[in-house]
A and B are shown apart, each in its own frame.
Chain A
Amino acid sequence: MGALLDHRAESAILEAKELAVDRGGVRVLTDVDLRVLPGQRVALIGPSGAGKTSLLRCLAGLESAAQGEVKAHVESGTNVGMVFQDLGLFPHMRVWSNVAFPLLAKRRSRRERKRAAFAALRKAGLEHLASRRPNAISGGERQRVALVRTLLSDPDVVLLDEPFSSLDSHLVGRFTEWLGDLQAETGIALVIATHDVTFVLGWADYIVLLNEGTVVQHGAPDVVFERPRSSFAAQFLGPCNVMAGRVTFRRNGLTGKEIEITTDLGLVARVGSHNPPPEELPERVLLCIRPASFTVCAPSVGMDDRQLFVVVDVAYRGTFTTYEIESVPTPGFHLRVDQPNVTGRYSVGEQVMLEWPPRRLCLVIE
């Protein structure tokens, strides 16, 4: 059964249902459902080989499905555009000819095509490149030219395959800003396949996490980030401490769910109500904690020794510091902790203790 990715009542302009794709006799996508709504920003994320590009190609109609189907909204006549990872610019044509290419389909004269291409390039701040060849402009400019060309085909949805793979980090910011302006102006939906998690979390309305051809998790970025359903999801979206443990107390109390986990190292944690109902939890679970979810503090008198750690590595990262700490009673057990620099800093060898806010802890059943 595929994962239905968006239940909103609004009608999807592009939809994939129980999609499966084979390549060279190997199934590269299995049972994928996806709905893209008008003006939505969808991000397909996952490691290399997860099936992101296959899914995009299938949505664009470049690959046929072994099972399931891709439906574009019939009434609105959804037009799907795509910007390829290598952009697919025509090297033998000038920039303006590239941009004007979609207008051939509308049987416009050469003069009209040229005028429209120059107008589109002017709007995008690229008019000065109009007479150059694609190989004579920078990677960022090529990226924008490819997108302007796609927009001239009047798409309702634009699929972008790894749009930042050839861009420097400072260009990524400028490109996404420009992309946002374009989207606000045109109202098109964007579907981006990328492995750039940092970008996705700040940009997307909806993310779909793929691994080995299947949808691992989907939802709003904050939900997927803070409530991962698997250790893969937890660790793909950013650094995460994963500890095995067992449920030592569970109750649906008057004040909500009460769950207590004792890790295999003897650490006891109470987890928040966002986790599965206590009765659905198996005895063994995984406890996921983001490095920034801990609070490091100096050891207090009479504290439980099992909470005692020693700092083994310190990495300054500007607004915060990353500490690698090792359990004192269980040498060899390490945790990563990110602390804002405003709270004071610790040195290697210093002993610390951790506070675990229950609402920031997440249980994963595997």
Chain B
Amino acid sequence: MATEEAVSRDRMSQLRRLVVIIPVLLFVGVGLLIPLSLVLIGALEATSTDRSAFDVVQSPPVPAVLGRTLVTAALVSAIALPLAFAIAHALRRVSPWVRSTASAVFILPLVLNLLVIILAWLLILEKNGLIGWVLRATTGDDDPPSFLFNPIASYLAMLYAIVPVMVLLIAYDLGRQHPSTREAAQLLGVSPWHVLLRIDIGQALPALISSYAIGYVIALNLYLVPEFLTGPQLTMLPFLVQQSVLNAFDLRTAAAISLLLATLSLVPLSALVWAENRQRS
């Protein structure tokens, strides 16, 4: 009798969960997946340029831009990750007051418009900007080099936008780790390097992977940064999507390029998350 009641209760609670999940699934299905599928099907057909979207993505400059975009996003996220971990790790050991202040500072770039951030970096990197002024003052050179219009300028601005998000994510995870694990590791006689690698990083690995994935996705969408700070040599694929829509109103091509980018990004990220989950189970 008691068992039947328990089974009944279990079924009811499952039903309640489905009542919450099903509307969300319907919303995503009807509102996104169906139109997306229609656009994708349309992309297979010939466009106004007499080429299908698949032809477009296979013809220059898309493959080169695609490769550059993936490498840029992966590289910037990879540089941001150790920086963010080091900052989050240091934040763990400071007083709560310093931690709160630092967190507030890290949130600031997240609420700033991207164009404002780009403008700030223009003011820093241009010939008459902050760095130029410092160089003039220290070296006496009246014509210091410009730090704009090279890939490093874009990487710096992208890091500025990505690192705070990663710091907040990693710091939250490190805050959940119990300090006794670190102290236990230290007392077991291993080197500080082993403590960092196997305990701090080991425990934070899922958060590091999530942070990397989120940083990567944000970097993909920072396509305006290279347009202003570097120029055509670092044009990213989302910029081509934007151009397809704004210049030719070619939504099908834009959708095809976008889906290609999403697929090529999601596959390695999913593999990373899957490998981590498998290792932990």
A positions within 8 Å CB-CB of B: 60-62, 79-82, 84-93, 101-102, 104-105, 149-150, 153
Contact = CB atoms under 8 A, between A and B. Distances in A.
Given A92-B203, A92-B205, A153 B188 contact: yes
Interface size bucket, B side?
Answer: 10 to 19
Contact of B189 (A62, A79, A89, A91): A79
Of the candidates B181, B189, B205, the one having the most CB atoms from chain A within 10 angstroms of its own CB is: B189
B183 interface: yes
A153 B191 CA distance: 13
Contacts of A88: 178, 180-181, 183-185
B38 interface: no
Contacts of A101: 185, 188, 190, 198
Contacts of B199: 90
Contacts of B17: none
B187 interface: yes
B69 to A, nearest CB: 33
A105 B280 CA distance: 24
Interface string B169-212: 00000000010110111111111001000110011010000000
Contact of B188 (A62, A85, A149): A149
A80 B184 CA distance: 11
A89 B187 CA distance: 12
A105 B183 contact: no
22 contacts: A61-B187, A62-B186, A82-B184, A85-B180, A86-B180, A87-B184, A88-B180, A88-B184, A89-B181, A90-B202, A90-B203, A91-B181, A92-B203, A92-B280, A102-B190, A104-B191, A104-B194, A104-B198, A105-B191, A149-B188, A153-B188, A153-B189
Contact of A82 (B187, B198, B203, B280): B187
Contacts of A79: 189
Nearest to B197: A104
Contacts, number: 63
Interface in B207-260: none
A105 B190 contact: yes
A102 B188 contact: yes
A91 B188 contact: no
A27 to B, nearest CB: 20
Nearest to A79: B189
Contacts of B194: 104-105
A84 B188 contact: no
Contacts of B191: 104-105
Nearest to A97: B198
A157 to B, nearest CB: 12
A147 B44 CA distance: 65
Nearest to B202: A92
B187 A105 contact: no
Given A92-B205, A92-B280, A86 B178 contact: yes
A62 B187 contact: yes
Nearest to A84: B180
B181 A90 contact: yes
Given A90-B198, A101-B190, 7 more contacts: A60-B187, A62-B183, A84-B184, A85-B180, A89-B184, A90-B202, A105-B189
Contacts of A86: 178, 180
Contacts of A153: 187-189
A61 B191 CA distance: 16
Nearest to B187: A82
Nearest to B183: A62
Contacts of A60: 187
B197 to A, nearest CB: 10
Top 10 closest pairs, chain A to chain B, by CB: A88-B184, A88-B180, A105-B189, A102-B188, A84-B180, A105-B190, A104-B190, A153-B188, A92-B203, A88-B181
B178 to A, nearest CB: 6
Contacts of A81: 187-188
Contacts of B186: 62
Contacts of B203: 90-92
Contacts of B205: 92
Contacts of B280: 92
Of the candidates B178, B181, B205, the one having the most CB atoms from chain A within 10 angstroms of its own CB is: B181
Contacts of B180: 84-88
Nearest to B191: A105
Nearest to A101: B188
A60 B194 CA distance: 19
Contacts of A149: 188
Given A91-B203, A92-B202, A93-B202, A105 B178 contact: no
Nearest to A57: B183
A60 B184 CA distance: 10
Contacts of A62: 183, 186-187
Contacts of B178: 86, 88
Nearest to B189: A105
